[in-house]
Structure 1
Amino acid sequence: MGETALDHGHGGHSHGVSADADRKWLTLALILIVGFMAAEVVVGVIAGSLALITDAGHMLTDAVSIVLALIAIRLAARPARGGYTYGLKRAEILSAQANGITLLLLAAYFVFEGVRRLIEPGEVEGLLVFVTALVGIVVNVAATWCISRANRSSLNVEGAYQHILNDLYAFIATAIAGAVVWLTGFARADAIAALVVAALMVKAGWGLVRASGRIFLEAAPESVDPAAVGAELAEVGAVAEVHDLHIWQITSGEAALSAHVIVADGADCHAIRGELERILLERHHIDHTTLQVDHVCAEDPDQHCVEPHGQSYRGA
């Protein structure tokens, strides 16, 4: 899918673009897409082109993805209250996952139709397909530019961006297919283009499902190695052991960490916690941390955690 928000080590609580700016650019892209999609459906039926109808279906998911992104931005901005102690920040991850699943389901349908058209090709107006696809390329370039101006460190906005970007590639394939049908009469080129579009949809859809699934499963960001972080923290002076280390993402671009840190008897707990927090922020861009710091108990070293979760890390 290319590099997403999950591949970056962004700091936790600030993003470079405001939610208002995101809404403006996403709304502009939505207007462009919906307007052209309506025209493309009509032209696709007239031209008998599965590739154009497939593109229109892809554009429908583009429009839905942007609508979901706009809704999720509004929900995520609501303050935490009641049982939702993180607020509704993961609404954007639900949106991204819905986008990915929709792409996969549509891809399955278009693969079926594409194979059927390869076996029994119909009449296709190649020139009409070619011209429409060229217009589609222009519209998608404009829409892609609009969304690129929004905050792509959000997996939600990234999902909408991936939809539009893949649709741009799809229109290029459709334009080539239209030119082939127009110039050579090879009608199966239209079905081949539809299969290319379906493959692009699978690639983008799986990337979104996988990325959002990692967040729902509380996995660490792909750019962060928990074992390396644990070993690094354990090397700090006076730290005897680090265990119960958990790293997850509240939402895209907002990582969190908790750990139980055991320090030498007589060490300054507050100073050590401050040093660990500095390391996590400066080296790993994690500023949402909860560190429980305790001293080693000489009589019973294991009194703090009878069954610590995960691996334990000890200093050299």
Structure 2
Amino acid sequence: MAHSHSATPDNSNARRLLLAFSVTAGFMAVEVAGGLIANSLALLADAGHMLTDAAALLFAFLAVQFSRRPPNAQHTFGWLRLTTLAAFVNAIALVIITFLIVWEAIQRFYHPRPVAGFSMLIIAIAGLLANLLAFWLLHRGGEEKNLNVRAAMLHVLGDLLGSVGAIAAAIIIMTTGWMPVDPILSILVSCLVLRSAWRLLKESVNELLEGAPATLDIAALKKTLRREIPEVRNVHHVHVWLVGEKPLMTLHVQVIPPHDHDALLERIHHFLEHHYDIAHATVQMEYQPCSGPECHLNEAHAGHTHSHHH
């Protein structure tokens, strides 16, 4: 039931990713050639982003295809985590390419090179149009919750900024002949891209390391569950993690022995889905207080991680 709604977005995601990949890969070659002809680092920076872009979009497309494969005995959650892995690889590629561009820009401050402003302007404008098309293709479905499509969009956004920077640099070079503007703008664009890449890297690493969603406060969840359902005395052994951005949870709940076990279990499940959007939870109901060292460990650890987050 929880997965039935995802078929259509996945199909549109795959189609949009493939179209955006075709646009980006096609134009990347033009921009590399143009950057070499005009001797512009800002253009090559943009082409560098487009190269990782094309790879990112291809990765994202393949990940969406793989995530459709049904669960089996070996992969009981299916291939959903593959999309997170693709986002992680994309983020690392962005970080590496950014450092390479910054390094080259620093070299150019010491050894300035002439840049053909007009050629640079024409190619940068064409690059901007190609990037706008790719960004529109990815953005129009509103699938921003999908980490993978968001990863691809970040790449394209980096390209958009790169193209705008290259246009500005070309105009300044044509009007003033001031060459250092080319490496300066390539560094500015790189910093903006690096900030987005870092956030993406943090999110994908958190998911790969079985981290709880950053927005979920486990201490508050325990307190609210006890308040909303009076039969619940204590909540412990809470584990939350993400698979393909879907939160999963296991928890032990100490309850007053109910007249109707199934009805109380149903209320707990309804609470988790309604308040926290956790559709897949394994609830172990207990009538005795939790005994054993790991109960207190779990409580203390939950409190510690919560305070660490804030």
Q: TM-score, normalised by structure 2?
A: 0.91
Question: In structure 2, what residue type is equivalent to 1:148?
Answer: H
CA distance in 2, matches of 1:195, 1:142: 24
- Give the SS at the match of 1:310: helix
Aligned to 1:180, which of 157, 172, 175?
A: 172
Equivalents in 1 of 2:212, 2:35: separation in Å?
44
Match of 2:307 in 1: none
Which residue of 2 is the match for residue 215 of structure 1? 207
Amino acid in the other structure paired with 1:284: Y
Change (3 A) 1:216 1:93: same
Query: What aligned pairs does 1:86-235 form with structure 2 within 5 A after superposition?
Result: 86-150=77-141, 151-235=143-227
Higher RCO (CA-CA < 8 Å; seq separation 6+): 1
Q: Deviations over 1:198-221 (max 9, x none)?
A: 212311221211110110122221
Change (3 A) 1:302 1:310: closer
Give % identity: 31
Contact 1:12 1:288 in 2 (8 A): no
- State the distance in 2 between where 1:190 and 1:302 align: 65
Cα shift at 1:12 = 6.7
Whether the 8 Å contact between 1:12 and 1:285 is mirrored in structure 2 is: no
Partner of 1:7: none
More helix by share: 2
Q: Per-residue deviation at 1:226? A: 1.3
Matched residues in 1 for 2:147 and 2:48: separation? 22
Letter of the 2:179 counterpart: A
Farther-moved stretch of structure 1 (256-265 vs 199-208): 199-208
Correspondent of 1:271 among 241, 258, 263: 263
Residues 270, 306 of structure 1: alpha-carbon distance in 2 compared, 3 angstrom cutoff: farther
Residues 152 and 189 of structure 1: CA distance in aligned 2, closer, same or farther (over 3 Å): same
How big is the shift at 1:18? 3.0
Aligned residue type for 1:106: I
Note the C-alpha offset of 1:17: 4.0
1:51 aligns with 2:34: no
Q: TM-score normalized by structure 1?
A: 0.89
How many angstroms does 1:118 deviate by? 1.5
Q: Could you tell me which residue of structure 2 aligns to residue 260 of structure 1? A: 252
Gaps of 5+ in 1: 1-10
Partners in 2 of 1:190 and 1:16 — Cα distance?
45
Matched residues in 2 for 1:302 and 1:243: separation?
8
2 CA distance for matches of 1:169 and 1:266?
Answer: 60
Displaced runs of 4 or more, over 4 A: none
| Cα deviation digits, residues 127-170 of structure 1 (max 9, x gap) | 21122111111111111010113433211111001110121111
Deviations 1:192-242 (A, max 9, x none): 111122212311221211110110122221222111111111222111110
TM-superposed CA distance for 1:32, in Å, is: 1.0
Shift of 1:14: 3.3
Task: Report the AA paired with residue 250 of structure 1.
Answer: V
Q: 2:19 aligns with which of 21, 24, 28?
A: 28
2:55 maps to 64
Choose which of 300, 304, 311 in structure 1 pairs with 2:299. Answer: 311
Q: Distance in 2 between matches of 1:267 and 1:121?
A: 82
One-letter amino acid of the counterpart of residue 237, structure 1 = P
Whether contact under 8 Å (2:31, 2:123) holds in the other structure is yes
The alignment partner of 2:299 has SS state of coil
Change (3 A) 1:258 1:13: farther
Deviations 1:83-142 (A, max 9, x none): 211111100111000000001111111111011112211010112112211111111111
2: distance between equivalents of 1:310 and 1:172?
51
CA distance in structure 2 between the partners assigned to 1:136 and 1:292 by the alignment: 56
> Is 2:14–2:65's contact at 8 Å kept on the other side of the alignment?
no
> CA 1:225/1:14 → structure 2, altered by over 3 Å: closer, same or farther?
farther
Q: Which is further off, 15-24 or 226-235?
A: 15-24
Cα distance change on mapping 1:17 and 1:184 into 2, 3 Å: farther
CA contact (8 A) 2:85 2:208 kept: no
1:29 partner amino acid: A
User: Which of residues 229, 232, 238 is equivalent to 1:239?
Assistant: 232
The one-letter code sitting in structure 1 at the alignment partner of 2:299 is: Q
Is contact 1:134-1:171 (8 Å) kept?
Answer: yes
In the TM superposition, what is the alpha-carbon distance from 1:291 to its structure 2 partner? 0.5
Runs (5+) with no aligned partner, structure 2: 303-310
Contact 1:256 1:287 in 2 (8 A): yes
CA distance in 1, matches of 2:210, 2:4: 18
Q: Is the 8 A contact 1:92 1:155 kept in 2?
A: yes
* Letter paired with 1:311: E
Deviation at 1:16, TM superposition (A): 7.8
